[in-house]
Chains A and B, each alone.
Chain A
Amino acid sequence: MTGHNLAERLGRGLHLAFCIVVFSFLIAPMLVVVPLSFNAEPYFTFSQGMLALDADAYSLRWYRSVIVNEEWRLALTNSLFIGLVAAALATVLGVLAALGLASPAMPGRAFVTGLLISPMITPIIISAAGMFFFYSKLGLSQTHLGLILAHAALGTPFVVITVTATLSGFDQNLARAAASLGAGPFAVFRRVQLPLIAPGVIAGGLFAFAASFDEVVTVLFLGGLEQRTIPRQMWAGIREQISPEILAVATFLVAFVLVLLGVVECLRKRGGQGPVGR
């Protein structure tokens, strides 16, 4: 019996140790970037001074050089502009579609869902190449509008999936009750459904924004110098002139994700039984 117990405890310990290693594998690379972004030297590695925790070895120079750099500023403006408009477009279209898909009467649901999710599964290089051919014909390449449409298309699956998940926990009787009390379809949506699925809608919109904010391949194919975004600028930095500026931007992006997930977590808690379906 003790032998059995011992083996079990050993197994558990090994399992836990293994999981710690895997979690470190997931998280550690990102954590390494943060201190290195404060490197006073133009290198991607820890200097002796940094390891000795010498204050002089740390500096904000890379943050400063990002902030004063025109290109990075243009990139931030572009990323925010394209991301916000694309996310808004994706959210409106995605919520409508999710409402349709959640209805038990929806004809051909599996097929339509598969179709609407396909932008997420299609290899990005194929989407970008196709968009390059097609959008060029329409005169949309090297325009902000072209990128907004591309990113909205790539972002809609996130909205559809998140909102559909929220709606699956929605009691259709509430809508029926409202309708029987004389509410029109729009009033039912605005006064009953929307408040209940709002956390899912916001989460979906945030994810669509995050997807656009991180997208680089369509920008490579469709964007010109005027449409450079943050990921595009990072891409250029990694491929051409490697500088710790990139680490400063990377740290900023990690912080951005932490804030984003914090917001979603709050929404989830406020939504009670889990609007985004955990």
Chain B
Amino acid sequence: MALSLAAARFRAAALTLPLVAFIGVTFLAPLGTMLVRSVHEPLVADSLPDTLALLDEWDGTSIPGEKVFRALGLEFQELHKQRALGGVATRVNRLETGMRSAVIRTARKLRDVNPDSWKEAVIAADPVWGEAKAWRALQQSGERYTARHFLHALDLGQDSVGKVVLQPPDRRIYLPLLGRTLAVSIVITMLCLILGYPVAYLIANSSTSKANLLLLLILVPFWTSLLVRTTSWIVLLQNQGVINDLLVAVGVTTDETRFPMIYNMTGTLVAMTQILLPFMVLPLYAVMRTISPSQMRAAAALGATFRQAFVRVYWPQSVPGVAAGSLLVFILSIGYYITPALVGGRTGQLISNLIAYHMQQSLNWGLAAALGAVLLGCVALLYCLFNRLVGIERMRFT
């Protein structure tokens, strides 16, 4: 018996193994790579090994000696020859503005020189090398493993003595954006709950055939392409769109004062609420259909008003559905990307959009990875909570 149980366990595990391996390679390994990238940035260290090794003995405040300048000059010459300087220049520049052009200019001027004093030649190429801050930036960007992307992602910086401090309020970008993302997610979750609860209640208390029909009204938008739904909101809400035309036609507003309802936060809120609403209704309905309508009738027969019966009998039993739907909508909205990118304009952007910006435009992949790790941490926490409270396998899509 013990043996057959072991065999059954082995068989069950073996059946899941191919998918576990597949997800491991195609999905979890990429996530791992991203997490590594958020702390690992070897390019500068690999490009300037001699200079950085010599800088190890530097006191951090004076101007380094001739040996360091010579190593820097030779390594710059080599990088210039290989056309590999751009990446180094960009990374040093992230720590000290202006260093990008300084690095490139220096390398160009030192191209084919072999001076007696490298120190003079380098400083002559760009005087910034006569200042300690340039060397500090070079040294810091040469750290193979670094926490600075995470510091950056949390709006933390290091002051002159290396203590970690919060950036001054006017220079904070990511914490306010994270706050805004959380606030937007809470608002959308509340809206979905307010709109979704009565609807789920209606479906759960309809006859089977009517309920199936009403569910279809939830499922069609649920399965319709996100881009289609986002496009339709653009059609409806834009300045020359259907709703503004209608409002002008009935005289609520004039042609000059059309309401800006899209490419701003309103657009993000409206479109995301509509898109995520089915994720609220479906789990709510799944719980509500298990609550027998006869309980409400019994409460009414015993003299309870509808409100009393609802508050004391129905609502407590529907709470698991409320928790499931709310957590799901909240998890999905804090990571939302497509809709804010298309209809959010400048003010309706969320944290995901900034990750995409750093991935595609500023090409600061380390920072993108660190922001991704912060977001992933939030989602993982909520996901564990969801799994413990609800159980992900109780989800339904049809």
Contacts and interface: CB of A to CB of B under 8 A. Distances in A.
Interface of A: 4, 8, 11, 15-16, 18-19, 22-23, 25-27, 29-30, 32-33, 36, 43-46, 93-94, 96-97, 99-101, 103-107, 110, 112-119, 121-127, 129-135, 137, 149-150, 152-154, 156, 158, 160-162, 164-165, 185, 203, 207, 210, 213-214, 216-217, 220-221, 231, 234-235, 238-239, 246-247, 250, 253-254, 257-258, 260-261, 264-265, 268, 276-278
In the A-B complex, the 10 residue pairs with the smallest Cβ-Cβ separation, listed nearest first, are A123-B335, A100-B15, A130-B30, A105-B8, A29-B232, A100-B16, A97-B19, A103-B12, A134-B30, A130-B34
Among B20, B215, B238, max chain A CB count under 10 A is at B20
Interface in B1-50: 5, 8-9, 11-20, 22-23, 26-34, 37
Contact of B16 (A45, A106, A216): A106
B225 A231 contact: yes
Nearest to A210: B223
Main SS of the interface on chain A?
helix
B230 interface: yes
Contact of A261 (B223, B337, B360, B376): B223
Given A33-B232, A257-B220, A44 B241 contact: yes
Given A126-B31, A133-B365, A114 B392 contact: yes
B396 A278 contact: yes
Given A125-B355, A162-B398, A97 B376 contact: no
A100 B12 contact: yes
Contacts of B17: 100
Contacts of B375: 123, 126
Interface of B: 5, 8-9, 11-20, 22-23, 26-34, 37, 195-196, 198-199, 201-202, 212, 214-221, 223-236, 238, 240-242, 245, 274, 277-278, 305-306, 331-332, 334-338, 342, 352, 355-356, 359-360, 365, 368-369, 372, 375-376, 379, 383-384, 387, 391-393, 395-398
A206 B22 CA distance: 20
Contact of B352 (A25, A112, A123): A123
Contact of B11 (A103, A247, A253): A103
Given A15-B198, A30-B228, A257-B223, 7 more contacts: A26-B217, A101-B16, A116-B23, A129-B355, A137-B33, A247-B231, A260-B223
Contact of B19 (A94, A122, A125, A158): A94
A258 B223 CA distance: 9
A158 B397 contact: yes
Among B13, B15, B33, B369, max chain A CB count under 10 A is at B15
B198 A118 contact: no
B398 A132 contact: no
Contacts of B365: 133
24 contacts: A11-B306, A93-B18, A103-B11, A107-B12, A115-B23, A122-B379, A123-B334, A124-B335, A126-B335, A127-B30, A127-B31, A129-B355, A130-B30, A130-B32, A130-B34, A131-B27, A135-B30, A153-B27, A156-B19, A158-B397, A221-B359, A234-B227, A238-B230, A268-B398
